[in-house]
Structure 1
Amino acid sequence: MEKETLDTLEYDKIRAMLEARAGSILGKEKARAILPSSDFDEVAELLHETEEAVRLSAFSSPPLGGIFDIRESLAKAGRGAVLDLGDFTDLLSTMHAMRAVKHFFKEMELDVPIVKEQARGIEILGQLERRLENSIDMHGNMLDDASVELSRIRRELRSGNRRAKEQMEAILHRTEYQKFFQDAIITQRGERNVIPIKQEYRQSFPGIVHDQSASGATLFIEPLALVDLNNDLKQLALAEKNEMQRILRLLSQAVGENSSILKEKCTILAHLDFIFARAKLAAAMQATKPALNREGRTKLVAARHPLIEASKVVPIDLALGKSYHMLLVTGPNTGGKTVSLKTLGLFALMVQSGCYIPAAAGSEISVYPSIYTVIGDEQSIEQSLSTFSAHMSHMVKLLERAERADLLLIDEIGAGTDPEEGAALAMAILEQFLARGTSTIVTTHYSELKTFAFTREGIENACVEFDVETLRPTYRLLTGMPGASNAFAISRRLGLSEAAILRAQQFIKADHAQFEKVVNQLESEKLMYEQRNADILERQQRVTKLEEKTLALKAEIQEKKEQMLKKARQESAALVRRTRQEAEEIIKSLKAQFDDLGIESRRRAMQEAREKLQEAAERSRTGLIPGKAYKEKIDMKKLAVGDIVYVRKLDQKATVLKIQGANIEVQLGSLKTYVKAGDCRFVERAGKEPLATGGKKRGRGAGTLLQKTANLHREIDVRGLMVDEAEQVIGKFLDDAVIGGLGQVLIIHGKGTGALRKGVHDYLKHHKSVARYNFADMSEGGTGATLVDLQ
């Protein structure tokens, strides 16, 4: 690509965006040096790399931190030079990054074969890495364990320094020396431990003078008793320095032996870093991957210029190379013609650099061997001869260089000279490009070129939209129609008299006026059809979403229905099994307790109990829930005292004691309460109590007991009752449960404010039949129900 093209399309700003998103110096350097490729296979490979990085970045990003530019250190080590500790720290950090990146891609299960293959090429130099880790820490300090000799020297140094400090402190604390000290401190001069002594006591304090203060009042003296020890420490320090230098020399030699391998692996890290920089740029731009082709076919859908602020950019649709390979764009100044040209040109450069483009899905772009631009700042009204000369010189070069597969972007062709001559030259030049089949986008103000485009195959008119009402451009690109000049409409809106406008219209040719009228009519009709198509599309999308939502809701309801029915049948079957088992146990107990009197009555009662259990089992199989079998509403005209009704709120049968308007007083065991007739269902009419002998009475009592046992539920629901009402209902329920032989019952009180739950627990705490109570399991209601063990 020509440098002039890259500069005109501001490609450097894209490179700067990539550089900012690279994590290492090597990656940033690669971003600065990137150039668009003209090879189709190479571009396809670059886009595949970016695609894998985008897909991988949605889940996790590789650990590319800690990578340093170690090329200079590797070069020094390769020449036999000794590296310093800082060089080794950067080397070690980069080698750790290599290991982390290789491990990351080895463990990655996502299908990203290209980047995985590149990461597989990173060779881990484990022996060298361990050697560096055993010699240098993360802060750039040499470790004691770097060698046996270094460990011994440092151990003796620490021991000698400790003895020297102890002896110095002993001198500082001696009473007879206190008046000699200028300050009772230990300091250093020339790497020797000294004490500041007053000048007048020089002869009284034995030692070697190493320095004196600026005034001469203080001498820095090394005590004579420490001279030999300090000499030993000095020798140990020199030995430590020599040993460290020896270790650095050996480590540098080891790095030099592997410098070519390390340099190659750094190149891989830099390339991976740059690939993920492209992925980050794609995410920041909300960009997509376009389809590629070699045929010069380009289709951009909702394309946004990447260098215009996202809140201000207007997306454009642009097509080229299918039914036509030349597009002639007309319209007013500052209407967006040049931006349309630059958008396509910059998109081509980005794609050929391996980047995604900020356009909607379904976009397609050709790989162009060369891209040529003739785009200048044509905003001045006056055009000089030099401007035209420069423009025509560019045209001559394009005619010499441009080939069929190239892309030409020409702004204001033929401008800067007489309009008629400029239009004629423009048509002659465009005819040559048209004959070659070169992909070309041209902007112009010449009306003659609009007619030229209508009369030639392979060229299409386009315009940038202009709102005459607001006198502002919309920046939309409309393909298929030329742009009107709008000069008369704009002048009329700005207040020019109608007479002047009519006179101006007389001056222009009739065919031109007719042409402008046709253009305006075509533009209006196209806008109308676009609006209709948009409305139809919106309706179709809305209907599709509603259909999907309806199907999903229907499936959800069906699934919930099946789950509820299945759960109800399971609970009913489990309840019937438990009740049958408990009833059989009661029957066995009664058989053992009663004598031979009333055998027939007991058998009859047992048979009735079994029939009721069979009926409950049948209801569970058919999906009926207890209490739902009573459906007949109460007829207040026929209701009489003594009738049996079913109270839905308490899930129990009751006897009618008194009728008061719409309310009735009923008796449930020992509990008497008022309920609304509408909350009850009719069960059976009042019956007469038959006279019987004592034996028969016993049989009747046994039958009643069995009937109660058969109808007894393991659980009771007191939600909606007041605390005192709930206590009465629970008291009767617990008595019946104890008589029925139940060992455990469930009281459903709900969560609500917690007042009913507290009242129920207070009542259970003092009930003589309650052994213990706890909240139920989550499957039975959790804190909204209490499980009671009976004694």
Structure 2
Amino acid sequence: MNGKTLRVLEYNKVIKNLKEFAVSEKGSESIESLKPISSRARIEILLKETDEAVRMLLSNGTIPLEGFYELSYILKKAKINSILSLKDLMQIGATLRVIKSVRKYCEEINTMEKFNIIDTLVSSLEEISDLEKEISRCILSEEELADNASDELFSVRRQINRKNQNIKEKLSSMLTSPTYQKYLQDQIITIRQDRYVLPIKLEYRSNVAGIVHDQSSTGATLFIEPMAVVEMNNDLKKLKLQEIAEVERILRDFTLQVASYYDELSYNYETLIQLDVIFAKGKYALNINAVCPKLNDALYFNLIKARHPLIDAESVVASDIYLGEKFNTLVITGPNTGGKTVVLKTVGLMCLMVQTGLFIPVNDQSSICIYENIFADIGDEQSIEQSLSTFSSHMTNIVDIVKHKVDKTLVLLDELGAGTDPTEGAALAMAILDYLHSGDVSTIVTTHYSELKQYAITQDNVENASVEFNVETLSPTYKLLIGIPGKSNAFEISKSLGLNYEIIENSKKYLSNENIKFEDILHDIEKRNKETEQNYYEAIKNREKSESFLQELEVEKQRIIEKQKNVELIAKQNALKILEDANEQALQIIKEMNQIKTRAKNSYTGELEELKRDLKEKENKLIVEISKETPQHNKSSKPFKPGDRVLVTSLNQKGYIIKVNADNSALVELGIMKSKVNIRDIVHVDEQEVAKKNYSRSGVQSKSKNIQTSIDVRGMNSEEVIMDVEKFIDDAYLSNLAQITIIHGKGTGVLRQAIQILLKKNKHVSEFRLGGFHEGGIGATIVTLK
């Protein structure tokens, strides 16, 4: 397609708007490279893709494509065995999770709908669950590998933690030692060159045996590694080297695993980009309220209620534009700023969009054809550098169009013949139209020349059109009227701008009688056309009302028929049920009569009565025994609610109701224990007893109101953390908090790992993640409660 045509028709602006709907950078780049094509088979596939995307978006919302990463470089690294970083692996894991979400999204869509193309693409995506699970299990962040990534790593890190603790204990004992206290500049343990040291005053250097690693800026302090910890520091250094080696080994194994899935991951990545482009087209179509027009091979288009896609939807004026069935050349006339150029750009842009696989803002009954070439000469592109005038610039473009003219071509010419002598310009314009008209070419031109209006009237396959102008308000309506030539309205516009009336009247004498009569005829035609159009729309409106009324009558008729059928069916079903019930009753009576006969023969009535008395006596005895052992309590008629103080009779324990379930059970907190019990096994505790022990429901509520949204467990050991965090989660859950923060610090990661294991098992936790940049980073865990 001609590059200049794409520019003057502002195709690049449509592509820029389309890019806004892509979720990935690579998808945006793919959209930027889109160009119109002329293969009908390929265009139909592209339009089918967009159609499926629109229907999917309408039925199931936005597809979850956000979050996949650019994998080309990462996969190339893996292929050449260049060790992947934790960040690389996290991006692969995130992309695999997107694939899982996309597959789930498509599975949830109504199976009655057909989405052949997108279903094929999505079903071809491979989830590679084993790799995704391993990445999620082993990698905590872009900078941290989980301790349980391997047994060796877990063992080494445990030894590092133990060694760190031993060194700190040794140095702490030196800090508190009376012998060393006078040597110390500060009572702190610090690190220099990755080794633990003490800050020693310069004058006591000879009193402390050890290695000097650094000196303060003033020179008054030496950072000395005491000989007592040198060997331990050496051991710690070795352990850290082992840790680095093990991390590198794990990453190398991951790299090999990714390389083994190179083809699958590459295909997945390319497919996600393709889906991103397809759904961007669908979102853009919905955004501009566009539809898919019907394609035809007859070289004509009929754009009903066409709207320029780059003009605001609230201000754009829709027009019916058609060409090719009865005429293949359209001459548009009318005043300046009336919308003639907008019509040219609308037609050209609609064709380019369809041939790119995009929907267009028209009525869904519209039809369009596919052009091999589209040429446009729009606007004044005079060039001072090339010494080209307006006329020369236009003619240069037209020469190029004529030179490359082939069949199935659309030509759009703005102000044909302008910029030179009107007589010669009009003659040249008509000759150009003759040449284009002779081939299989569709042509739309705009002009001010009256000669071209008359040309369109006299020539076959050529039709006039105009942009409507309201003479009363002296403003354009931007509506296209095909079949009616337009007036320039120069006299009316000049008069409205304040030109002297005498000058306007004097100018009319320079017009020929033929021109005056022609303009008067145009005015009369335009007036009658408005009346005819108004009558036409009223007739359509009346017809639609009649059709709607007939449809309502038909629907009512069908409803009555269906209702009658339902009544008959119900009557038959009731009659059948009556017969069945009668038969059942008859069979039951016969059965009972047979049983009476049997009992009369055997006469076991006395024995049965004796057995019944024995059972009753045992039941009464059991009830007495149970009542003696069970404490008596006054049951309340009040319903049970969270926070109520109750007694669990089966356990003889008192506690608080945490939650009342729909299955007539309740979750009760009994000290540090929680138990699920039946409602029948609990009773309200007497209010006086509650007052004695200073317990009340309001106390529970006040506790809930004062609950904090975060807990700081830094400095605690794992056992303390587990108890405090569990209690904190329970309190937060009872207080209906949606999200809480657990501050554990960065440290060695032991507390964070213990907390994450706890969170995975806690039934109140919906999900959790490490803190963001402003949330404490890896030193905090953000928890979302159910």
TM over 0.5: yes
State the alpha-carbon separation in 2 of the partners of residues 475 and 379 from structure 1.
Answer: 27
Max Rg structure: 1
Amino acid at match of 2:377: V
Question: What's the CA shift for 1:370?
Answer: 1.2
Change (3 A) 1:428 1:89: same
Partner residue in 2 for 1:77: 78
Please give the residue correspondences for 1:170-209 in structure 2 after superposition, counting only pairs within 5 Å: 170-209=173-212
Partner residue in 1 for 2:521: 518
Kindly indicate whether the alpha-carbon contact (under 8 Å) linking 2:36 and 2:353 is maintained by their aligned counterparts in 1.
Answer: yes
For each residue in 1:410-446, what CA deviation from the matched residue of structure 2 results, as whole angstroms up to 9, or x when unmatched?
1011111100001101110100111103011101111
State the alpha-carbon separation in 2 of the partners of residues 563 and 38 from structure 1.
Answer: 56
Kindly indicate whether the alpha-carbon contact (under 8 Å) linking 2:382 and 2:393 is maintained by their aligned counterparts in 1.
Answer: no
**Is it true that 1:11 corresponds to 2:11 in the alignment?**
yes
**Is it true that 1:506 corresponds to 2:509 in the alignment?**
yes
State the alpha-carbon separation in 2 of the partners of residues 495 and 136 from structure 1.
Answer: 78
Partner residue in 2 for 1:333: 336
Match of 2:350 among 332, 342, 347: 347
Question: What's the CA shift for 1:228?
Answer: 1.1
* Mean Cα deviation higher: 526-535 or 544-553: 544-553
Amino acid at match of 1:92: G
Kindly indicate whether the alpha-carbon contact (under 8 Å) linking 2:306 and 2:362 is maintained by their aligned counterparts in 1.
Answer: yes
Change (3 A) 1:552 1:140: farther
For each residue in 1:106-154, what CA deviation from the matched residue of structure 2 results, as whole angstroms up to 9, or x when unmatched?
4542321110011122223344434434432354522233333222212
* Mean Cα deviation higher: 267-276 or 127-136: 127-136
SS at match of 2:173: helix
State the alpha-carbon separation in 1 of the partners of residues 319 and 381 from structure 2.
Answer: 22
Please give the residue correspondences for 1:154-233 in structure 2 after superposition, counting only pairs within 5 Å: 154-233=157-236
Kindly indicate whether the alpha-carbon contact (under 8 Å) linking 2:372 and 2:407 is maintained by their aligned counterparts in 1.
Answer: no
Partner residue in 1 for 2:35: 35
State the alpha-carbon separation in 2 of the partners of residues 28 and 413 from structure 1.
Answer: 38
State the alpha-carbon separation in 2 of the partners of residues 59 and 162 from structure 1.
Answer: 59
Partner residue in 2 for 1:44: 44
State the alpha-carbon separation in 2 of the partners of residues 253 and 387 from structure 1.
Answer: 65
Please give the residue correspondences for 1:254-269 in structure 2 after superposition, counting only pairs within 5 Å: 254-269=257-272
Amino acid at match of 2:457: F
Kindly indicate whether the alpha-carbon contact (under 8 Å) linking 1:297 and 1:321 is maintained by their aligned counterparts in 2.
Answer: yes
Give the TM-score normalised by the residue count of structure 2.
0.68
Question: What's the CA shift for 1:296?
Answer: 1.6
Give the TM-score normalised by the residue count of structure 1.
0.67
Question: What's the CA shift for 1:556?
Answer: 9.3
For each residue in 1:33-59, what CA deviation from the matched residue of structure 2 results, as whole angstroms up to 9, or x when unmatched?
111111111111111111111001012
State the alpha-carbon separation in 1 of the partners of residues 38 and 171 from structure 2.
Answer: 77
Match of 1:316 among 314, 319, 325: 319
State the alpha-carbon separation in 1 of the partners of residues 64 and 493 from structure 2.
Answer: 59
Change (3 A) 1:562 1:100: closer
**Is it true that 1:363 corresponds to 2:366 in the alignment?**
yes
Partner residue in 2 for 1:699: none
Question: What's the CA shift for 1:257?
Answer: 3.4
Change (3 A) 1:544 1:174: farther
* Mean Cα deviation higher: 182-191 or 45-54: 182-191
Match of 1:281 among 269, 279, 284: 284
Please give the residue correspondences for 1:145-160 in structure 2 after superposition, counting only pairs within 5 Å: 145-160=148-163
Count of aligned positions = 566
SS at match of 1:202: helix
Question: What's the CA shift for 1:235?
Answer: 0.6
Change (3 A) 1:495 1:151: closer
Kindly indicate whether the alpha-carbon contact (under 8 Å) linking 2:381 and 2:390 is maintained by their aligned counterparts in 1.
Answer: no
Change (3 A) 1:562 1:180: farther
Kindly indicate whether the alpha-carbon contact (under 8 Å) linking 2:409 and 2:440 is maintained by their aligned counterparts in 1.
Answer: no
Partner residue in 2 for 1:89: 90
SS at match of 2:222: strand
Question: What's the CA shift for 1:377?
Answer: 3.1
Partner residue in 1 for 2:309: 306
Question: What's the CA shift for 1:194?
Answer: 1.6
**Is it true that 1:460 corresponds to 2:460 in the alignment?**
no
State the alpha-carbon separation in 1 of the partners of residues 70 and 127 from structure 2.
Answer: 18
Amino acid at match of 1:8: V
State the alpha-carbon separation in 2 of the partners of residues 160 and 385 from structure 1.
Answer: 84
Match of 1:475 among 470, 475, 478: 478
State the alpha-carbon separation in 1 of the partners of residues 465 and 300 from structure 2.
Answer: 17
Amino acid at match of 2:364: A
Change (3 A) 1:378 1:78: closer
**Is it true that 1:404 corresponds to 2:407 in the alignment?**
yes
State the alpha-carbon separation in 2 of the partners of residues 248 and 370 from structure 1.
Answer: 54
Kindly indicate whether the alpha-carbon contact (under 8 Å) linking 2:465 and 2:482 is maintained by their aligned counterparts in 1.
Answer: yes
State the alpha-carbon separation in 2 of the partners of residues 357 and 475 from structure 1.
Answer: 19
Amino acid at match of 2:98: A
Partner residue in 1 for 2:68: 67
For each residue in 1:507-563, what CA deviation from the matched residue of structure 2 results, as whole angstroms up to 9, or x when unmatched?
222222111111111111111111222233334445555676788899999999999
State the alpha-carbon separation in 1 of the partners of residues 152 and 493 from structure 2.
Answer: 92
Please give the residue correspondences for 1:15-26 in structure 2 after superposition, counting only pairs within 5 Å: 15-26=15-26
For each residue in 1:706-739, what CA deviation from the matched residue of structure 2 results, as whole angstroms up to 9, or x when unmatched?
xxxxxxxxxxxxxxxxxxxxxxxxxxxxxxxxxx
For each residue in 1:620-670, what CA deviation from the matched residue of structure 2 results, as whole angstroms up to 9, or x when unmatched?
xxxxxxxxxxxxxxxxxxxxxxxxxxxxxxxxxxxxxxxxxxxxxxxxxxx
SS at match of 1:507: coil
Change (3 A) 1:224 1:497: closer
* Mean Cα deviation higher: 91-100 or 474-483: 91-100
Amino acid at match of 2:75: L
Amino acid at match of 1:354: G
State the alpha-carbon separation in 1 of the partners of residues 176 and 8 from structure 2.
Answer: 81
Kindly indicate whether the alpha-carbon contact (under 8 Å) linking 1:88 and 1:140 is maintained by their aligned counterparts in 2.
Answer: no
Amino acid at match of 1:19: K
State the alpha-carbon separation in 2 of the partners of residues 138 and 294 from structure 1.
Answer: 57
For each residue in 1:471-509, what CA deviation from the matched residue of structure 2 results, as whole angstroms up to 9, or x when unmatched?
211111110010012123333444555554443333222
Amino acid at match of 1:281: Y
Change (3 A) 1:414 1:122: same
Please give the residue correspondences for 1:443-454 in structure 2 after superposition, counting only pairs within 5 Å: 443-454=446-457
Please give the residue correspondences for 1:704-723 in structure 2 after superposition, counting only pairs within 5 Å: none
Instruction: Note the aligned Cα RMSD (angstroms).
Output: 2.9
Partner residue in 2 for 1:435: 438
State the alpha-carbon separation in 1 of the partners of residues 116 and 560 from structure 2.
Answer: 43
* Mean Cα deviation higher: 483-492 or 235-244: 483-492
Please give the residue correspondences for 1:265-664 in structure 2 after superposition, counting only pairs within 5 Å: 265-377=268-380, 386-496=389-499, 499-542=502-545
SS at match of 1:377: coil
Kindly indicate whether the alpha-carbon contact (under 8 Å) linking 1:404 and 1:439 is maintained by their aligned counterparts in 2.
Answer: no
Kindly indicate whether the alpha-carbon contact (under 8 Å) linking 1:106 and 1:116 is maintained by their aligned counterparts in 2.
Answer: no
Amino acid at match of 2:252: R
Match of 1:144 among 137, 142, 147: 147
Please give the residue correspondences for 1:102-113 in structure 2 after superposition, counting only pairs within 5 Å: 102-108=103-109, 109=111, 110-113=113-116
Amino acid at match of 2:332: V
Partner residue in 1 for 2:652: none
State the alpha-carbon separation in 2 of the partners of residues 445 and 340 from structure 1.
Answer: 15
SS at match of 2:267: helix
Percentage of pairs with the same residue: 42
For each residue in 1:173-201, what CA deviation from the matched residue of structure 2 results, as whole angstroms up to 9, or x when unmatched?
33443333322222211011122222233
Change (3 A) 1:334 1:481: same
Change (3 A) 1:352 1:562: closer
SS at match of 2:460: coil
